Amino acid sequence: MVRGGGGAASSLSSTNSRRRKHSLMNGGGTRDLRRPLILYPDKDEEVTSVRLSKFLLTRIMVWILTIFVGITVVFFLQRMMPSDPINNMIGKITSMGTSLSPEEIESMRTALMRQYGLDGTLLEQYGQTLKNLLRFDFGLSIANYPTPVSVMIGRALPYTVALLLTTTVLSWIIGNAIGLLAGFKKEKWYSKTLETISMCIYPTPYFMLALVIMILMAYVKRWYPLIPSFRPFEFTFEWFSDAIHNSFMPALSLMLVGTGWWIISMKSLAANVAEEEYVNYGRLKGLPEHTIGYRYVFRNSILTQVTALALHIGSAFSGSLMCEIIFSYPGIGQLVNTAINNSDYNLLTGVIFISIFAVATSTLLVDLLYPLIDPRIRYH
């Protein structure tokens, strides 16, 4: 008995000695087994830095390529159109009763082509256009000569940004809130009702919903004017009140379609997350339903919606352009309509460049910020 106890004590002492020796070899002290053992920390930081550099470089290259391809396609498509902007301008001048000889017409054509950068070969025009765009120099408008294109864009852009930003943010918040409720309480009758309404609204094209709203609110009820009139900008309550009143119909069109999409997507995400094991574990712990809905379902579903927001900006912008044309809203959509109808190369190139630049930059920023929002995401 004594001999056996001594052997056990000797074995235990030997084990403790080996543990102390192992501890001293690893820097001394006792390591907390609950904390992960990090091998080669310098190497891990180096790998993370390389991944971050590759991630940033890839996203920036995609951003540059998107803008370059968009401008290239627009440039060559304009030149393939049968309408000639110089002939249209000369036709307008002669239609006013001005009598010009063939030599004067030819001299005017040469001067106008040089002024608008339409002289030289197609590749020379393309190269000059790229150089001008790098300086944000869009030239003069053909349809509104001699107004610079940058001035026209500067007047219209705030209206489009205000309309698009307001409707996108509101539809994202409202749609996700309703979708979360519908997905978390999917067995309730109102969940199925909300899903049915959303599935009816979302597939409806922007322009069709805009026409329905215009007929109901401007023609049948006469709550809003068919053609709104916006006064020059003034930092007054009356100006903002008038602008909100005239912007209500296009904003409603964009919000209905956007909200329908966010309800459908959030409901699907919330319903899937609500079936996860950690949600059931929270219920077994006796947590209140609102705590489970916020901590477990909402926080794990909303991250995907942040990424979807970047993809939604492009479609929302195209819908905004159509609504602006239908409601005669003084934004970028009206400039696009004017440029196409008058074959205004400079105006259309400037508008498309600013549009692609804004949408691509917004998508890039959301893409770069997403790993900071969700720590589980790694830079690949």
Structure tokens at 240: 């903002």
Q: What pLDDT was estimated at residue 9? A: 44
pTM: 0.72
- The mean per-residue pLDDT over the stretch 101-116 comes to 79
271 neighbors 185 (Cβ within 8 angstroms): no
Question: How many Å apart are CA 106 and CA 347, to the nearest integer?
Answer: 24
152 neighbors 335 (Cβ within 8 angstroms): yes
Write down the residue that tokens 């705590």 correspond to. Answer: 291
Q: What pLDDT was estimated at residue 301? A: 81
Percent of the chain with pLDDT over 70: 84
pLDDT digits (tens, 9 = 90+) for 235-286: 777 778 877 888 888 888 888 888 888 888 888 888 888 888 887 888 888 8
pLDDT digits (tens, 9 = 90+) for 289-314: 778 877 878 888 887 787 787 777 77
pLDDT digits (tens, 9 = 90+) for 47-83: 567 777 787 888 889 889 988 998 899 888 888 877 7
Tell me the CATH class for 153-333.
mainly alpha
CA angle (120 as vertex; 118, 123 as ends), nearest 5: 95
DSSP for 335-362 reads: HHHHHHHTT-HHHHHHHHHHHHHHHHHH
What phi and psi values does residue 202 have, to the nearest 5 degrees?
-60, -45
Report the Cα–Cα distance between both ends of the chain, in Å, rounded: 63
DSSP for 229-264 reads: --PPP-SSHHHHHHHHHHHHHHHHHHHHHHHHHHHH
Q: What pLDDT was estimated at residue 22? A: 45
Nearest to 134 by CA among 79, 71, 75, 62: 71
- Mean pLDDT score of the chain: 77
Question: How many Å apart are CA 359 and CA 351, to the nearest integer?
Answer: 12
Domain boundaries, the chain: 153-333
